[in-house]
Structure 1
């Protein structure tokens, strides 16, 4: 009896094993990527070239900062760019390694040669490199405070420690929590290791999706506020220039008119009867007229010089303001160009249900992501090194 019971139990275990194996095969079939081998390899190789260019650009920004004069380094803008470049170097480096650090035992990617440990490490550094998004947001707020609210260096220096603490501290803490709780694994779409599983997905919403959405909206809104402020300032400058030009024409004419009226109605000169007194009076009147004329002309010239000086200062200030606003807009364009494809992919994955089974249909979008996502460091360097003395002086 005992033997029959044991045999029956063993057969049930074998049947259960094959049932589970069949379910796993069905699940695996539904999770097979529809990318061709060439497409899969392209998505793995292209980020290497983009990442190297981005790291080169970020390295140049860091080198320019370190080799600059110490007085110029004592600047909030320069230190934000230093933090942005350092986090971008990390992000670009991680993005070039992702396709090769995916676990080879479980992944279907062409160049997967890693382990669970390497995948977890990539997930940790990927989350830490998310500080790049935070620094983009901090840079946007810096330009808003500088242009629209005219904050001084001292005022922004008091806010700077909070910027660096939030950008680095938040992502370091969340990356550590993810590693400690074993949340990292290979994503079902894309060649990445990051938060996976139910708990990991909800945690990703908190520590990545929500901050990313906030900063994307904030960056766009801040740039619109800056644009509107600069547009109004330029309109006011044009109106002031027209008023100043009109005043410069009216003031000399009024001064000359009052001077002539004063000399033609001199009662003392009319009452002099003596020849000597007349000669003396004429001589003194001539000297007085000459002196007053010289004084009036000199006064007019001084007023004109002062008006020209003030107009030049205002024009230079507006040129600086406009140059800084253009610089801010270029950084916004760099951020949106490199991060919008990833944002669209994540939204599509959440709404449409992007999965490996329909991954091939979205290959063009995945290809754009592979090329652009690691490139922000290069774009930032091209923007940062623009030869514009006006905005460099203003910052």
Structure 2
């Protein structure tokens, strides 16, 4: 057994740098998309904060090989104890990413299994989610820097808690407490997080299966939509869990081997594990981006299966509104009850006498309804759905969809409890109102984009 050769170190540095750059780009894309679309909700705020933290962590990973204390055995290491301590600080702070993964799953668990209202979740639970995910990693990272806990690790090209106090391994009169602090700072919280992710994901799956079984009693013709919702909700939650496991598990293996006595002189014997760790550990932001745009990508694939996968992915990542409107217009006369949450396009035409507002609900699983308001100045508003919708997390969609289905005896008899009319009556009334409004309209059309929550009529 021998330490790593220069060629092996170059391989590890290349892998970690590449993965770190991919993760950084993925997290930056999530931040940009979330800010551009002005999306609200606990899910988006959790993911946005996690992405911001991951950006700093990815930057630290990219520069980590150069921040190591200068050592002939470590190529390209030009740092010192201070730079290593700084790298250790960001390594410890990055544990908040795992906490945020757990909070994302908790969000799914509370909304799907417990049926918690989004307002209550935002007001009473979300602040504690952020506090737990940020305060503990930040306090432990600050404590580690202040007392000098962070130093170069014995296994792998990184800085974190190693021999503490310094020189304790050479001095028999000093007890080494580095492993104890390592378990307190990261080991126990990380294993607890992984256990919670696994258990909560099982509970989510069982609840989704239970809801789907109940929904099938109300409708036979909606089986495809129900089955798709089941797959989307379960898959979305499972993918975040899988991303966290695939990112963290390799680091847990390496740190466990180090605690069992595998040190720098034995690195060549575990080179294959170091390769897996260097490649997968920094990729959290990259996986998050793929999972984040997946619902939008899947909607494009389902509606336009003839389009290439790359085109669908580009539209999911950076939508072209003109293309979106073109494709959605081909389907606008069908499938009113099977649309996902849509960005609403409002066309306003001024008239002299009245204002008539027609709103189409396009939440997945919810059927179209109307809302009419009369006031002045006069305007006519018509809502049309779009493929490029503002993404609302699947747990919220599933809860809303299940509430709608609970009101139905058949797919044709979904009743608005406020309007006291069937779906067919709603469509007939909307058609007559649109005809009268078209005759009264005299001014040119003005197009405005509104957020999907501004003009959505919700049941229950």
Give yes or no for contact 1:233–1:318 (8 Å, CA) kept in 2.
no
Offset, 1:224: 1.0
Indicate how the Cα distance of structure 1 residues 101 and 393 shifts in structure 2: closer, same or farther if over 3 A, else same: closer
Offset, 1:392: 2.7
In the alignment, does 2:99 pair up with 1:134?
A: yes
Larger Rg: 1
**Equivalent residue in structure 1 for 2:87, among 122, 125, 128:** 122
The one-character-per-residue Cα deviations of 1:115-146 (angstroms, maximum 9, x if unpaired) are 11111111112111221111111111111112
Q: Distance in 2 between matches of 1:209 and 1:354?
A: 18
Q: Where do 1:296-315 residues align within 5 Å? A: none
Q: Distance in 1 between matches of 2:127 and 2:393?
A: 23
Q: Distance in 2 between matches of 1:360 and 1:393?
A: 45
Q: Give the equivalent residue in structure 2 for 1:374.
A: 282
Which secondary structure does the structure 2 equivalent of 1:114 belong to? coil
Offset, 1:203: 1.4
Which secondary structure does the structure 2 equivalent of 1:354 belong to? coil
**Equivalent residue in structure 2 for 1:326, among 235, 243, 253:** 235
Q: Give the equivalent residue in structure 1 for 2:181.
A: 203
Give yes or no for contact 2:43–2:393 (8 Å, CA) kept in 1.
no
In the alignment, does 2:211 pair up with 1:233?
A: yes
Give yes or no for contact 2:92–2:141 (8 Å, CA) kept in 1.
yes
Give yes or no for contact 1:44–1:111 (8 Å, CA) kept in 2.
no
Query: Greater share of helix residues, 1 or 2?
Result: 1
Q: TM-score, normalised by structure 2?
A: 0.60
Which secondary structure does the structure 2 equivalent of 1:392 belong to? coil
Offset, 1:149: 1.2
Which secondary structure does the structure 2 equivalent of 1:194 belong to? strand
Offset, 1:234: 2.1
Offset, 1:365: 0.8
Aligned-residue CA RMSD (Å): 2.1
Give yes or no for contact 1:230–1:322 (8 Å, CA) kept in 2.
no
Q: Distance in 1 between matches of 2:225 and 2:10?
A: 53
Give yes or no for contact 2:152–2:159 (8 Å, CA) kept in 1.
yes
Q: Where do 1:51-200 residues align within 5 Å? A: 51-69=20-38, 72-73=39-40, 75-104=41-70, 106=71, 108-157=73-122, 158-197=124-163, 198-200=176-178
Offset, 1:172: 1.1
Q: Give the equivalent residue in structure 2 for 1:275.
A: none
Q: Give the equivalent residue in structure 1 for 2:252.
A: 343
Give yes or no for contact 1:184–1:200 (8 Å, CA) kept in 2.
no
Q: Distance in 2 between matches of 1:328 and 1:228?
A: 13
Indicate how the Cα distance of structure 1 residues 356 and 156 shifts in structure 2: closer, same or farther if over 3 A, else same: same
Give yes or no for contact 1:183–1:199 (8 Å, CA) kept in 2.
no
Q: Distance in 2 between matches of 1:355 and 1:135?
A: 31
Which secondary structure does the structure 1 equivalent of 2:16 belong to? helix
Q: Distance in 2 between matches of 1:184 and 1:316?
A: 52
Return 5+ residue gaps in structure 1 as ranges. 1-31, 243-310
Q: Distance in 1 between matches of 2:92 and 2:72?
A: 21
The one-character-per-residue Cα deviations of 1:29-63 (angstroms, maximum 9, x if unpaired) are xxx95222211121122211111111111001000
Q: TM-score, normalised by structure 1?
A: 0.69
**Equivalent residue in structure 1 for 2:269, among 352, 355, 361:** 361
Offset, 1:349: 2.8
Offset, 1:338: 1.6
Give yes or no for contact 1:87–1:130 (8 Å, CA) kept in 2.
no
After superposing on structure 2, the runs of 4+ consecutive aligned residues of structure 1 that deviate more than 4 Å are: 314-319
Aligned length: 290
Q: Give the equivalent residue in structure 2 for 1:42.
A: 11
* Larger CA deviation: 330-339 vs 319-328: 319-328
Offset, 1:315: 7.5
Indicate how the Cα distance of structure 1 residues 393 and 227 shifts in structure 2: closer, same or farther if over 3 A, else same: closer
Whose RCO is larger (CA < 8 A, sep 6+)?
1
The one-character-per-residue Cα deviations of 1:69-119 (angstroms, maximum 9, x if unpaired) are 3xx32x100000011111211221111111110000x46211211011111
Return 5+ residue gaps in structure 2 as ranges. 164-175, 300-339, 341-363, 365-390, 397-460
Offset, 1:317: 6.5
Q: Distance in 2 between matches of 1:173 and 1:122?
A: 16
